[in-house]
């Protein structure tokens, strides 16, 4: 995620970064013009929250676990999950976030670290809210030069899984 943070900052986006490891948060904040968030609650004013985590279970816990973001974020926030998550879990999380007024968009990437570094990732975008997808495209465009709208919520993650299968 660090190269993606660099590209977002370079594009002029105001960023707050958070990692469970405070030393990692500090390392990223020292290297880039971003704000270091010491806790998830410090992300509450965000209009867009981007997660790049190992799997969808962790993403779900970030939003709905004890002290999760869902209760702190404002209505109208867009959550963009760029992790390699399960499509069914993504659809379920979208339904669970809806009562909080949070719209979920899945946008996993392909291209590994070299393409993350030079902002040429391929990004597969799934979502049920076309307006939300349009709102996050400037954020996604700062990280990738090939944006593919794949359909409803979860289809970005499904396409990522298919892409990995074909590549293997």
Catalytic residues: 160
CA 131, CA 36: separation in Å to the nearest integer? Answer: 29
Cβ atoms within 10 Å of 67's Cβ, excluding its own: 10
- Find the helix or strand (DSSP H, E) in which 114 lies: helix 112-117
| Residue 15 contacts residue 43 (beta carbons within 8 Å) | no
Q: What is the CA radius of gyration of the chain?
A: 15
Q: b/e string for 131-140 if b means 16 or more Cβ within 10 A?
A: ebbebbeebb
Phi then psi dihedrals of residue 52, to 5 deg: -135, 90
SS3 at position 89: helix
Which pair of structure tokens corresponds to residue 64?
A: 């709905």
């Amino acid at each position: 995620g660090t190269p993606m943070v660099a590209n977002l900052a370079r594009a002029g986006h105001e960023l707050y970064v958070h990692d469970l490891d405070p030393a990692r948060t500090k390392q990223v904040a020292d290297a880039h013009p971003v704000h270091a968030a010491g806790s998830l609650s410090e992300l509450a004013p965000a209009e867009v929250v981007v997660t790049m985590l190992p799997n969808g279970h962790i993403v779900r816990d970030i939003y709905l676990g004890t002290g999760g973001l869902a209760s702190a974020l404002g209505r109208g926030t867009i959550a963009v999950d760029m992790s390699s998550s399960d499509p069914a879990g993504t659809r379920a999380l979208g339904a669970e976030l809806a009562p909080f007024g949070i719209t979920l968009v899945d946008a996993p990437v392909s291209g590994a670290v070299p393409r993350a570094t030079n902002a040429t990732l391929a990004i597969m975008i799934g979502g049920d809210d076309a307006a939300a997808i349009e709102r996050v495209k400037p954020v996604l465009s700062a990280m990738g030069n090939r944006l593919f709208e794949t359909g409803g919520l979860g289809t970005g993650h499904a396409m990522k899984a298919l892409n990995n299968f074909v590549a293997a």
